[in-house]
Structure 1
Amino acid sequence: MEDFQIYQLAGQVLGTLTQELNDGIYAELGGELSIGWREGRKFGAYASSSADPAAPIRHSITIYYELVRQVWRDAEGLCEFLRSIPEGTDVDRLYDFYGDREKLPTCFDEDEHVKNIFVAAITWVFFHELGHLMQEHGVIRAEFGSTAEDLGLAADVQDFEASGDDVLAGREAVVSHATELAADFEAMNFYIVELIRHVSDPRFVRIEARTEVLAGLVYLMLCGLSLVFFRFNGAKLLAPSAVVEGSHPNPLTRLEINLPQIHESLDSKLMRAICGHEMDRKELVMLGGKAALSATLYWTMTKTESRQFDNRFLLRGILTNPTVLEYLQPIVACWDEMLPRVLELRRFGTPTGVMTFTKAFRYRIAEVIPWGKGPEGASQASVASTSLRP
């Protein structure tokens, strides 16, 4: 597909979403949402809001053309890479853990693989920016961040490739990371609702094929989301760190947090009643893990300097990673502090879109011991790199 065609498709997809939101939620609130496009070789997007949360809602989302172009090219590259893995190689055998070696859903053809990854990824980015706007994160960062001086300037919340950003630290970094994760949470909630609405339409998919198509779309969406996170991470190291720094969380940490939200939402009684899919929790977890593996294989073996697969980049689950648990300690504390103000500013959205942490999860991160000879010790540091070639 030519670049101008990519831009046209993105305009159609995101323009339709914007119009639907204006006709519904924003019309009811007497507000307006607009979408804009910018040139420049930046992989990024940003959300803008009036600095006065008491004024009528005037929200805008701006997407760089380079973002949608690169998302499409990454989707093409991923699909080509997965199809090129020779049968019986070490990389191919990694998929045995997930029950089969199918690397792309058979219910879609080659063109549909790329298009579905692309549409899912840019839709999620759009919803992520919407999440910032829903919770007025510009105002939140101005009120709770250490460098907040001008609410007018703070009304822009930007998401760009992290390697080009000034490195945030301390309180400012914690507030930024907490609001990024909160926007992720809103985005995933929006996306799942839209996905279920789409799949439940008998004009789109037959009832008997609903489970297979839903599984395929979720898989491709997670592949696309992983690539977006990797792109936003830029040239920074992928290995998680307990230190909160920079503007955005580590992409692996974001995936570790987003995946359970998908599993829990799709496994809920409500979603099952609406969609009628037949996947159980284990199947959903395996589906997410397989998608993350595919994206990680592609990224580490084609985009990193070593061009080798490193098993340290595999997802292992938040609760088993003391580094991530230690990282989340100040994030959760900061979110608890900001949440009452977030709820005061949030003028629309379902309760399921607000980021929450269970008592069990809070206890787990509070009790983590990242040193010593116990199971939480430095064993993580001994994980070695594994070189595999397709």
Structure 2
Amino acid sequence: MDNPEIIEFAVSFISSITNDLNESLYSQPTANLNVIWKRDDSFNARAIPKSRITEPPVHIIELTYGLVIQLYNDIDEYCSYIENKSDQKTFDILFKDHSGDTSILPCHLEPEDYRKNMYIGALTWVYFHELAHLNQEHVYILNKFIDTKHHSMYEEFNVNKSEPLKDKEAAIHHVLELAADFEAIQSCLRELIRHFEGDELTKSIGLFVSSISCAIYKLHNPTELSLSSDIEGSHPPSIVRLEQILPQIWESLDLYEKANIIDTKLNRKDLVHICDRSATSACFFWFRKKQITTEKMRNFIFVGTINRPGGKLYLQTIIKTWDVIKPEIVKNSRMLDELNTLNFTETLRDLVLEC
């Protein structure tokens, strides 16, 4: 697709989701969800609340043309990379113990179709991530827990670049990003389950993981990966976000399978393998595209945040910060769903908080 086609497709798709939400979750009198498109080349998105938390929600999601164009073009390049089998020998070695079909792209779809399916997955994740900021009233949380300034919106990629956030303010921003990721992933999985079943769902899981991995890796800078209890910046490192998302996907789908909500005949090991193949292939794509040096590969491939230098200390601050702000989020969320709320397992807490 060329740029006008990409924009037309994205606007139409996002409008259909927004219309559905306005007829359901925003159906109260005076409530409204609106999407504003910015004619801007930047890769950016914003969540803007226009109502008090005591009023029916009036929310705006702002997306740039640059974001939706770059999302599609990255996916198109990724698919071409896989189709050209540039690193197929490496993948054969890495995935030799994986069960079942180890193809990364589905053979039953035309290239244009799986590109569009991946694009839909990436758009949906970005949209639901912004919606999660609004649903969980993250701007209200920032203003309640941070006294330094008044926040009127939640901006994704251009926050305070000249003055990186530090200490408590940075920790709160990081944990809110992880909370928005968590809700967005749960919403996306529900959409996959609503549209697909059986073998079609199995193939869609892999495409979805590839699509969000492409989007996340785009923003990752392995040369600046440094984790500690002293958190800086407005967002977690992209690889850290992916390392929280992947287990969430395979654990959630495993629970759905065991509860007979889905019928893919996949066990947890199968789901881990699907996520591994999809995310690793996106990792290698961006590794080549960004021309990362081999000594930085460990900072680029997912190994689990807890296994990284300083990872336990970083997660310790994240968990403690979440425990402080979670009651306010639960109290003020517009559409409270326990399954959508960020959760750290007791096993992870024990591993992290013991250090």
Q: Give the alignment's TM-score, normalised by structure 1.
A: 0.84
Q: Percent identity?
A: 30
SS of corresponding position for 1:60: strand
In the TM superposition, what is the alpha-carbon distance from 1:47 to its structure 2 partner?
A: 0.5
1:230, distance to aligned residue in structure 2 (A): 2.2
- Counterpart in the other structure of 2:50: 50
Structure 2 residue aligned with 1:168? 165
Unmatched tracts of structure 2, length 5 or more: none
| Helix, strand or coil at the partner of 1:237 | helix
Counterpart residue number, 1:224: 211
From 263, 279, 300, give the equivalent of 1:276.
Answer: 263
Quick one: which amino acid aligns to residue 193 of structure 1?
R
Contact 2:129 2:180 in 1 (8 A): yes
Q: 1:197 to 1:358 in 2, by over 3 A?
A: same
- Paired position in structure 1 for 2:134: 133
Q: CA deviation at 1:318?
A: 4.0
Q: Distance in 2 between matches of 1:180 and 1:86?
A: 34
Secondary structure at the residue paired with 1:102? coil
- How do residues 348-367 of structure 1 correspond to structure 2 at under 5 angstroms? 348-367=335-354
TM-score, normalised with respect to structure 2: 0.92
Corresponding residue of 1:206: none
For 1:194, the aligned partner's letter is: E
- Cα distance in 2, alignment partners of residues 314 and 347 from structure 1: 36
Residue 61 of structure 1 aligns to a residue in which SS?
strand
Question: What residue in structure 1 maps to residue 244 of structure 2?
Answer: 257
Spell out the pairing of 1:196-211 with structure 2 (5 A cutoff). Answer: 196-200=193-197, 210=198
Matched, 1:314 2:311: no
Q: 8 Å contact 2:28–2:56 — kept in the other structure? A: no
| Count, aligned residues | 353
Alpha-carbon distance, 1:329 to partner = 0.8
Checking the alignment, whether the CA contact within 8 Å between 1:127 and 1:186 is kept in structure 2 is yes
Contact 2:227 2:309 (C-alpha < 8 Å) held by counterparts: no
Amino acid at match of 2:238: P
Q: Does the 8 Å CA contact 1:132/1:183 hold for their aligned counterparts?
A: yes
Q: Report the alpha carbon displacement of residue 313 of structure 1 after superposing the two structures with TM.
A: 2.2
Distance apart, 1:63 and its partner CA: 0.7
Per-residue CA deviation, residues 300-358 of structure 1 (Å, 9 max, x unaligned), is 11123548982442222344445322211111111111111111110214210011122
User: How far, CA to CA, are the matches of 2:301 and 2:227 in structure 1?
Assistant: 15
> RMSD value over aligned CA atoms?
2.4
Aligned partners of 2:222 and 2:300 also within 8 Å: no
Gaps of 5+ in 1: 201-209, 369-390
Q: Which residue of 1 aligns with 2:145?
A: 144
| Contact 1:43–1:66, Cα closer than 8 Å, also in 2 | yes
Counterpart in the other structure of 2:321 = 334
Q: In 2, distance between residues paired with 1:362 and 1:305? A: 33
1:155 corresponds to which of 146, 152, 155: 152
State the Cα distance separating 1:105 from its structure 2 match.
2.1
2:257–2:266 Cα contact (<8 Å) kept: no
